[in-house]
Amino acid sequence: MSKAISYAAPSAKEPLSFFQFERREVGPKDVQIEILFCGVCHSDLHTARNEWQNSVYPVIPGHEIVGRVMSVGAEVQGFKAGDLAAVGCLVDSCGNCPECSDGLEQYCDQGVYTYNSPDKHTGKMTYGGYSNQIVVQEHFVLHISDKLDLAAVAPLLCAGITTYSPLRHWKVGPGSKVGIVGLGGLGHMGVKLAHAMGAHVVLFTTSPGKAADAKRLGADEVVISKNADEMDKHVNSFDFILNTVAAAHNLDPFLALLKRDGTLCLNGVPEHAHPSPNIAHLIFKRRQLAGSLIGGIPETQEMLDFCAEHNITSDIELIAIQDVNTAYERMIKGDVKYRFVIDMATLNDQA
Ligand code: NAP
Ligand code: ZN
């Protein structure tokens, strides 16, 4: 066991605050990583505040982790002390089911998330990346390029893969007309990735002030989704729309924009359910409503390599860990450009 320090939510109603705990012994297949930067995902906020009604306290959020290897177990082959390394949303899975065999560990029924999941090693819950170090089995540790800004790489581990995976699954590329709904952490990565894949990208936002940024990030067009006239111009025209909005809203205006056989894929996991879609939108054009969960380990590595090749990182605002509660309040207002990343060195200031 080794001592670790973190910021944790003590309950749904209290702000995150300094918390000490222990990481497990480094086993033969484990990699121990000093965490340098950790992104702030809206899922962290949903979990810290028990919006999904499954939080076990204390919650140490954080699943966009980048850092440097401190030590490795005897059987680890792909990493050595001093290497850069990253961890995303998953730290374990059964390894045998059809999902694991296909490299889609995120769909394994026994998958273990990086935080707030039962941890068979400790008998407690898993504790995430708002901490100074983490111990993770090698299979779930990713390689990152030393050519990219490390802090700006962190959000690729959730926001990047969560948008990359559905864009690939629905075969987005040159000739596709793709919509991205919501310009937050996930949405801005969706815009960058869909653009790099060669699609015609339309960004849907509720924030007119984000239009210029959306174009800079790679959107060909920007639509203010509350403006029905602007929406009407795009009826029956999209191959694929990826919806990253973190709150319940009416999906019908987006379904109506899909071509025959087009797909609206949901990434957002809001606290409250969306109103049911009008099934006429599905039936009369054989449209599909789908969902997608992060991405598997092989695809996460593929995404990281794709981002290194195309020089893609997140647009970030680097914060001290002491500012994470303020960052949460700003995230709720949609006031993030476009991902908060915690500089974990500021945690050591506190120790
Ligand atoms: P975020 O940075 O807060 O972005 C969400 C965006 O949604 C906002 O920037 C805003 O964009 C838009 N929005 C419109 N109305 C909103 C409202 N009433 N409340 C909040 N946002 C609103 O969040 P994120 O980190 O990208 O995460 C988005 C959602 O995806 C969350 O629910 C998160 O839990 C979920 N998630 C899912 C997966 C998965 O595997 N499926 C993985 C990670 C996260 P505009 O200002 O442009 O309208
Ligand atoms: Zn996330």
Q: Identify the CATH number of the domain in which residue 81 sits.
A: 3.90.180.10
Q: How confident is the model at residue 38 (pLDDT cuts 50, 70, 90)?
A: very high
Residue 258 is assigned to a structural domain of this protein: yes
Asked if 17 and 128 sit in the same domain, the reply is: yes
Ligand 1 binding pocket includes 224 (Cβ within 6 Å): no
**Contact partners, residue 33, CB within 8 Å, separation at least 6:** 65, 67, 68, 69, 70, 85, 87, 133, 134, 135, 136, 141
Q: What is the pLDDT of residue 79?
A: 98
CA of 41 to the centre of ligand 2 (A): 4
Q: What is the pLDDT of residue 350?
A: 75
Asked if 179 and 247 sit in the same domain, the reply is: yes
- What is the DSSP annotation of 64-109? -EEEEEEEE-TT--S--TT-EEEE-SEEE--SSSHHHHTT-GGG-T
Say whether 42 sits in a helix, a strand or coil.
Answer: helix
Torsion of CA 157, 163, 165, 170, to 10 degrees: -170
Q: Report the CATH number that the domain containing residue 199 is assigned in CATH.
A: 3.40.50.720
Asked if 64 and 92 sit in the same domain, the reply is: yes
Q: Which residues pair with 193 in a beta bridge?
A: none
Mean pLDDT of the chain: 97
- What's the whole-number mean pLDDT along residues 285-292? 98
Asked if 323 and 215 sit in the same domain, the reply is: no
- Please, is 264 exposed, middle or buried when counting C-beta atoms within 10 Å of its C-beta (0-12, 13-18, 19+)? buried
Q: What is the pLDDT of residue 351?
A: 67
Residue 337 is assigned to a structural domain of this protein: yes
d(CA 324, CA 36): 16
Percent residues over pLDDT 70 in the chain: 100
Asked if 6 and 150 sit in the same domain, the reply is: yes
pLDDT (tens digit per residue) in 189-243: 999 999 999 999 999 999 999 999 999 999 999 999 999 999 999 999 999 999 9
Among 137, 166, 169, 134, which Cα is nearest to 63's? 134
Among 8, 5, 90, 93, which Cα is nearest to 47's? 8
Determine the structural domain holding residue 256 and report its residue range: 159-291
CA of 260 to the centre of ligand 2 (A): 31
Asked if 151 and 165 sit in the same domain, the reply is: no
Residue 131 has what DSSP assignment?
B
- What's the whole-number mean pLDDT along residues 61-86? 98
Which atom of ligand 1 has the smallest separation from the CA of 106? 40
Q: How confident is the model at residue 349 (pLDDT cuts 50, 70, 90)?
A: confident
Asked if 130 and 260 sit in the same domain, the reply is: no
Percent residues over pLDDT 90 in the chain: 99
pLDDT (tens digit per residue) in 311-322: 999 999 999 999
Atom 7 (ligand 1) nearest CA: 245
- Please, is 325 exposed, middle or buried when counting C-beta atoms within 10 Å of its C-beta (0-12, 13-18, 19+)? middle
Q: Let me know: does 206 contact 186? Beta carbons within 8 Å.
A: no
Structure tokens at 177: 């007309």
β 200-205/221-224 pair status: parallel
Residue 309 is assigned to a structural domain of this protein: no
d(CA 27, CA 103): 23
Asked if 88 and 61 sit in the same domain, the reply is: yes
Structure tokens at 269: 């996991």
Given ligand 1 and candidates 90, 186, 330, 332, which is best to mutate, with the most ligand atoms within 8 Å of its CB?
186
Residue 298 is assigned to a structural domain of this protein: no
Q: Let me know: does 244 contact 166? Beta carbons within 8 Å.
A: no
Q: For the chain, how many structural domains are there in total? A: 2
